[in-house]
């Protein structure tokens, strides 16, 4: 099968914007990247996925849950160890599926820097997403973040 390079570039651009929005802590805008319905966001450990155990580390199953997930981040009332995060998206693959859906797989690496400027690896994983094309842009209908490094040293306060 010949890869659709235009589709891949469009999906890469979308994922890069997704990562930049979160890196820039524009959390109020994050739910806007998702379709109203269907809408799912979940973070899972690779171990559970490999064992066929679908229990997520965290999940949102509606657009309202997404907005609630970031509400305290937006208001600045959530207490957690604040780190600067830098998301790196790689190895993006995209293919068109029935009904205009786009199936996406990509690698995700997130680095963290503390207030003293010390940087370290925060997590490594993969995005597994289903997108719908809407008015020339994409909306996420399902996003699973599968973490290889699921022993995260801080509360999973911000979206990945």
In tens, the pLDDT along 131-148 reads 998 777 899 999 999 999
Using pLDDT thresholds of 50, 70 and 90, give the confidence band for residue 80.
low
Of 19, 10, 29, nearest to 145 (Cα)? 19
pTM above 0.95, yes or no: no
Using pLDDT thresholds of 50, 70 and 90, give the confidence band for residue 36.
very high
The pLDDT assigned to 145 comes to 96
Using pLDDT thresholds of 50, 70 and 90, give the confidence band for residue 108.
very high
The CATH class of the 5-147 domain is alpha beta
Sheet containing strand 84-96, strands side by side: 58-60, 40-45, 137-147, 119-134, 101-113, 84-96
- How many CA atoms lie less than 13 Å away from 105 in the CB half-sphere? 3
* Tokens describing residue 36: 């109203």
**Is it the case that residue 78 has pLDDT exceeding 80?**
no
Using pLDDT thresholds of 50, 70 and 90, give the confidence band for residue 77.
confident
């Amino acid at each position: 099968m010949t890869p659709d390079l235009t589709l891949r570039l469009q999906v890469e651009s979308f994922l890069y914007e997704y990562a930049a929005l979160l890196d820039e802590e524009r959390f109020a805008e994050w739910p806007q990247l998702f379709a109203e319905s269907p809408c799912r966001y979940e973070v899972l450990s690779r171990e559970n996925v490999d064992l066929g155990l679908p229990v997520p580390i965290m999940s949102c199953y509606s657009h309202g849950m997404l907005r609630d997930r970031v509400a305290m981040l937006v208001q600045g009332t959530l207490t957690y160890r604040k780190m600067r995060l830098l998301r790196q998206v790689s190895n993006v693959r995209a293919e068109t599926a029935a009904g205009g859906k786009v199936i996406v797989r990509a690698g995700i690496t997130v680095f963290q820097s503390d207030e003293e400027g010390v940087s370290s690896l925060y997590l490594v994983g993969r995005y597994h997403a289903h997108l719908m094309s809407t008015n020339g842009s994409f909306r996420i209908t399902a996003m699973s973040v599968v973490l290889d490094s699921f022993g995260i040293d801080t509360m999973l306060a911000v979206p990945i």
